[in-house]
């Protein structure tokens, strides 16, 4: 039985029955309204002209005549009589506008005069006419009822589209993912493993008075495996899994989100043990505004209030756990994050070297890798890659190998896939010899200063002047280890490496180009962070800025001095870079000429040329 606002509606099958009865009444009305056909034994009345009819009356051939006056005011009358001839008797009829002489003739031959309404009242109604009247009234009543019920059911179905989830969304799934399929986040797996144990054996924890967490908030950058981890918990605990997005609760009408929250938690309790996973939960869990808002703000607040009440309203013994995933925990409402709702926050960061190796090995089973592929070496060259990025890397490598019609994925395929992800696909451009020379010296300057800086945390991997994406060339580095802190020496080496492209152009070509725009922006960003955030300036141990949107921590004069220190830091290191490149001019020329000839050289080749051209005192 469907309901709309508390009013019960007929089930759909009864609506179909109502439609069927209505159609049957319409058919009966149509059938009984048809004129009765003349039986086979009776002759059809003969139609005469008015003059022939009156002539037959005058001749005495007609008897049992009637005159019926029409009520339309046109003066017409329907004449009917019986004509008797030797051996035959037939009915005749006509329609005429009668004169006084005609009326006298008809009255003389005893024609009965009356109007149509009086004759209709005098004639008794037949069973067919009574049935037609009943069917006509029934069709009108049933048609009205059918229309009303159809409108109500249409309104119900229209409202149901917005106030409830679809059948697919509310279908409890059984996850087949296990912890063994989730790599690169061992600490997070340890955090949520207790939830699995609680769902499997809650009595063991109740002995000590412990209770199962109602909610677990997974916090981390995109692609770090938050959804996979929630699925693994459901798979290990053999619990029903409901996976939704925060946007699934957001609709146009106020109150829809709250209704969906209540329906979801009701369904989860009915199918316990259950895990509710809400991805991007910050879309419904962000902080409530104290200002008066429009309909969207009211909808958000009502949805959040319903979620708060729902998470308070179920007990740990219900065996329902809510997993939320977000990469913006700072925007979440504090009432949602308190113990008793989301009891735990589990952080998933980008994987370190060991994590990347484990992730690559987990995904390598789905592709055909060549025996010569070194996954640890590949992991070392992918710092900052998430689990999703690494899976995409292997997929791009498989696509590249298939395009080259190879049966397995080689190291070259994976290197090409990494370059495509980082910088874009190779872009064929008609570069002039002058353009190639500018790009070659620019990239040679980056490579030269990186090698001369002696930074043991980063190793030169490759230098190329082949355009990729928006870049006309690139100098690629591979970190020797994961970096969690940056020393002042490392940052200075990074600044000089960024400046070296512009310095090489200026020294070798005598002019500068716009190709260093990205280098300038990055160097300025690093210098500002060194001065304003990390206290690496004469101002000392002092923070000058807060997070975005907050007030400054220093006076205008101090901020002016800080800007001066940023400019000084950049100028001093630019001068030092110029001196470094000038002293190794032979190495710069050698690398640039080799790039012009081959377009791409390896890091080992660049180091050999630098070592061969350095003067003994350097």
Which residues are part of the catalytic machinery?
443
β-partners of residue 479 are 458
Give the contacts of 597 (CB within 8 A, at least 6 positions apart): none
Reduce the DSSP state of residue 51 to 3 states and report it. helix
E-only strand ranges, 145-210: 173-174
Specify whether the CB–CB gap between 46 and 91 falls below 8 A: yes
Q: How far apart are CA 217 and CA 325, in angstroms?
A: 6
Q: Give the burial string for 7-26 (b: 16+ CB within 10 Å, else e).
A: eebeeeeebeebeeebeebb
Please tell me the distance from the alpha carbon of residue 375 to that of residue 366, in angstroms, as a whole number: 14
How many CA within 13 A on the CB side of residue 437? 10
Which value, in Å, is the radius of gyration of the alpha carbons in the chain?
46
Give yes or no for a contact between 220 and 327, defined as CB atoms under 8 angstroms apart: yes
State the sign of the Cα–Cα–Cα–Cα dihedral 217, 223, 224, 228: positive
Nearest Cα to 441, choosing from 520, 517, 512, 493?
512
- Residues listed for the chain: 618
Whether residue 256 has a cis bond before it, omega within 30° of 0 = no
Contacts of 456 (CB under 8 A, 6+ apart): 480
Peptide bond into 273 cis (omega under 30): yes
Q: Residue 592 CA to chain centroid, in angstroms?
A: 48
Distance CA 449, CA 498 (A): 9
Q: How far apart are CA 370 and CA 218, in angstroms?
A: 36
């Amino acid at each position: 039985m469907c309901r709309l606002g508390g009013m019960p509606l007929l089930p759909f099958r009864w609506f179909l029955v109502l439609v069927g009865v209505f159609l049957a009444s319409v058919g009966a009305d149509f059938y009984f309204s048809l004129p009765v056909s003349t039986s086979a034994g009776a002759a059809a009345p003969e139609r005469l002209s008015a003059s022939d009819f009156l002539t037959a009356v005058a001749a005495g051939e007609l008897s049992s005549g009637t005159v019926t006056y029409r009520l339309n005011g046109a003066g017409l009358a329907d004449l009917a009589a019986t004509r008797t001839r030797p051996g035959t008797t037939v009915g005749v009829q006509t329609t005429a506008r009668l004169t006084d002489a005609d009326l006298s003739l008809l009255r003389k031959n005893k024609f009965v005069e009356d109007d149509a309404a009086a004759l209709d009242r005098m004639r008794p109604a037949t069973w067919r006419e009574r049935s037609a009247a009943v069917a006509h009234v029934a069709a009108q009543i049933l048609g009205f009822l059918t229309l009303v019920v159809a409108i109500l059911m249409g309104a119900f179905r229209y409202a149901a589209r917005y106030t409830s989830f679809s059948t697919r969304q509310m279908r409890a799934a059984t996850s087949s993912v296990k912890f063994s399929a989730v790599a690169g986040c061992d600490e997070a797996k340890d955090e949520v493993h207790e939830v699995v144990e609680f769902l499997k054996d809650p009595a063991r924890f109740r002995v000590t008075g412990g209770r199962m967490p109602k909610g677990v908030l997974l916090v981390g950058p995109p692609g770090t495996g938050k959804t996979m981890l929630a699925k693994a918990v459901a798979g290990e605990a053999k619990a029903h899994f409901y996976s939704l997005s925060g946007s699934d609760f957001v609709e146009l009408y106020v109150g829809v989100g709250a209704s969906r929250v209540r329906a979801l938690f009701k369904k989860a309790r009915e199918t316990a043990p259950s895990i509710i996973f809400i991805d991007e939960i910050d879309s419904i869990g962000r902080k409530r505004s104290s200002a008066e808002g429009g309909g969207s703000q009211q909808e958000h607040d009502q949805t959040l209030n319903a979620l708060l009440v729902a998470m308070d309203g179920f007990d740990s013994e219900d065996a329902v756990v809510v997993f939320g995933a977000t990469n913006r925990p700072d925007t979440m409402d504090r009432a949602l994050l308190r113990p008793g709702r989301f009891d735990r926050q589990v952080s998933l960061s980008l994987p370190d070297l060991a994590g990347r190796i484990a992730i690559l090995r987990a995904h390598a089973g789905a592709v055909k890798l060549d025996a010569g592929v070194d996954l640890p070496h590949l992991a070392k060259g992918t710092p900052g890659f998430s689990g999703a990025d690494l899976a995409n890397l292997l997929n791009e490598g498989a696509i590249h190998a298939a395009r080259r019609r190879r049966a397995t994925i080689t190291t070259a395929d994976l290197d090409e896939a990494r370059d495509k992800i980082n910088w874009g696909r190779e872009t064929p451009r008609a570069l002039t010899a002058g353009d190639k020379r500018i790009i070659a010296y620019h990239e040679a300057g980056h490579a030269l200063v990186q090698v001369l800086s002696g930074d043991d945390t980063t190793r030169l991997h490759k230098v190329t002047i082949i355009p990729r994406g928006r870049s006309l060339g690139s100098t690629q580095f591979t970190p020797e280890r994961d970096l969690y802190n940056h020393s002042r020496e490392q940052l200075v080496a990074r600044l000089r490496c960024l400046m070296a492209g512009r310095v090489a152009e200026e020294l070798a070509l005598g002019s500068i180009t716009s190709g260093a725009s990205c280098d300038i922006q990055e160097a300025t960003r690093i210098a500002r962070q060194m001065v304003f955030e990390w206290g690496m300036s004469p101002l000392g141990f002092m923070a000058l800025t807060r997070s975005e949107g907050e007030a400054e921590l220093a006076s205008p004069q101090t901020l002016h001095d800080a800007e001066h220190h940023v400019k000084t830091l950049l100028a001093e290191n630019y001068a030092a870079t110029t001196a470094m490149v000038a002293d190794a001019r032979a190495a710069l020329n050698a690398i640039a000429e080799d790039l012009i000839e081959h377009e791409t050289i390896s890091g080992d080749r660049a180091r050999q040329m630098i070592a061969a051209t350095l003067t003994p005192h350097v």
